[in-house]
């Protein structure tokens, strides 16, 4: 799953792009929890990625018809101009 956030930056100069890889647990209610950075980008973008993903709601995984918690990775891409 990839989210692309275009974040304006006040600095002049060349553009910068990269991605933050997050590890998280999707709870049975579909809410993300235990969000951790697996691959950092720095410049405050790790925190922005966590902030964005923490607002998401997922379709929970099911086992025998019942919602269960699962671990997933989420990649959040940034392009700064």
What H or E segment, with its residue span, contains residue 49? Answer: helix 45-54
Which structure tokens are listed for 49? Answer: 């990625």
- Give residue 80's pLDDT: 85
Q: Which of 73, 7, 76 is nearest to 34 (CA)?
A: 73
Given this model, what pLDDT does residue 15 score? Answer: 79
Q: What is the pLDDT of residue 76?
A: 96
Q: How confident is the model at residue 59, as a pLDDT?
A: 96
Q: List the one residue out of 20, 80, 16 whose CA is nearest residue 52.
A: 20
Separation CA 24–CA 64 (nearest Å): 23
Cα(16)–Cα(63) distance, rounded to whole angstroms? 42
Q: Is the pLDDT of residue 1 over 90?
A: no
pTM: 0.80
Reported as a single tens digit per residue, the pLDDT across 15-62 is 789 999 999 999 999 999 999 999 999 999 999 999 999 999 999 999
């Amino acid at each position: 799953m990839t989210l692309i956030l275009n974040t304006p930056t006040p600095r002049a100069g060349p553009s910068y792009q990269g991605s933050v890889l997050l590890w998280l647990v999707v709870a049975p209610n579909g809410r993300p929890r235990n969000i951790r950075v697996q691959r950092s980008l720095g410049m405050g973008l790790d925190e922005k990625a966590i902030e964005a993903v923490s607002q998401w709601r997922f379709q929970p995984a099911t086992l025998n018809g019942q919602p269960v918690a699962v671990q997933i990775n989420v990649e959040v891409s940034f392009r700064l101009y």
